[in-house]
Structure 1
C-alpha cells in the first residue's frame, strides 16, 4: 500500500455505527496469535495519529475509506499520520449497515416485507412514516455555510446564530425560526431577553402529498437535542425555549367546475 490510499465501499451511504476495517497483514508483529488479520479503527481525522496507529477515516455519504497520509516536513523528513498496509495486503470490511437519506423517509404502510418468519405473525407494515433522513451536504451548501460558521464561531448571539446552530445539529428539520421573546410580543415582562426557537419537522406525506397534523410536531428527542446544543453556546443570562410553532387551522371550501368536454368522473377523483 501507499500513504493516503483510498478505497470505496460498494453500497453507500453508510449508517452510523461500529465500523472496523480488517487488513490481512502477515508481517504485523503484534497480530492476533493464530491469525494474520489486524483491525483498523475509524477516527475523525489523522491529526493525532502516529506512524504505528492503525487508523482510517470514513466518508459515510460517499462510502470512502482512506488510510493515513505522509507529509514532508520542513527539514525534508517524511512523517506518517497513521500506518500504511503492506503491499499485497487484503483490505476488507466484514459488515456495515447502509441506508438513510431522503429516500429512507418512506410513507406509512410502505414497509410490508417480513424478512424472516415469526410465530403467529401473518403480516407487517409500518404504522407511522419514517422521518429524519437527510442527504449528505453538497459542496455548494458547504461553501454557503462556511462563511456563516466563521462569523458565528459556534456562539449564539443574534437570532440568525440560533437558527444556524440548530440546523447544524438537526439537519432533518424543515424550518427553524428564532424570535425574541418580550413584553412587546404579548409575553410576560419576565420573558424579556429570552429567545424562542420554533422548529418545524420535515413531514412525510402520503401518496397524495397530505401530511397528518401529528407529523408537524417535532419529536421530543429532537427538541432536547437542539436545546442542549444551543444551551452550551448561548450568552449567560439568555433564556432559551425550543418548541413547535402554533399552527392556525384553515378550512377551504371551493366550488370546482369542469371545463367543457372534460370527463366528470376524472374531475371528481
Structure 2
C-alpha cells in the first residue's frame, strides 16, 4: 500500500538536522511540498538541495511570535510536524532557573504556540494533521532527565486535549514517542560504555531507533491511511515502555 502525500503542504520545525531533517525528506519523498523551519540557513539550504525541489527553507525561531503569524498566514497547511525541542541532562537537584525556563519555553510553550497557530489555519480550511514530537520520556521517568520528562508528559497531554477539541473541525492531532535515536548528536553520548549499557539494557529489541524509523511513522500518521487515528501516541521505542 503506497502512501502518497501528493498535493499536500507540510511544515516541519527543527528541520535543519537530525530527526527533523529526516522527516522533511521523507515527507517530500512521499509527495508533500515541505516548508522546512530552522534557525541556521546553511542547514536549510543543503536540505533544500536534497529535497529535489519539494522543500522550501524558512529561517525562523520557534520562540518568536512572528513565526506563529507566518503559520496563520499560510495559504494552506495540511501537515504540521512540531519537532523542535531540546534537552540539557542533569540531576534534578542541580537544575537552575535558566535551564528550567529554556526547556519549558522550547519544549512546551513553543510546541503549544506552533500547534495553536496551525490549528487556526487548519480549522479554517476544515482539515489537517498536527504531529507533535514527544518521546518515550513522555511515558516514563529517567535519571538526569526530570525536566525533559516533565516537558514531554506535557506534550502527551496537549496532544490528547487538542485531538478532542479539534476533531469537529476535521483536524487530527497525534504524537510520536521515540526512544534514543542514532544521530551524530547522540554518537558522543553512546561512546560512554556505561550510558550505552544503561540504554540498551532497557530496549528489548536491543538497538536504538534510527531517524528513518521515526520519519516513516510520521509519514504514515500524516497520511489518509491513518485517517481515524487521533489523540494517540505512537511509541517507536523497541519495547522500552512495554515493560
The answer to which structure has the higher helix fraction is 2
TM-score interval, smaller chain: under 0.3
Higher relative contact order (CA 8 A, sep 6+): 2
TM-score relative to the length of structure 2 = 0.25
Bigger Rg over Cα: 1
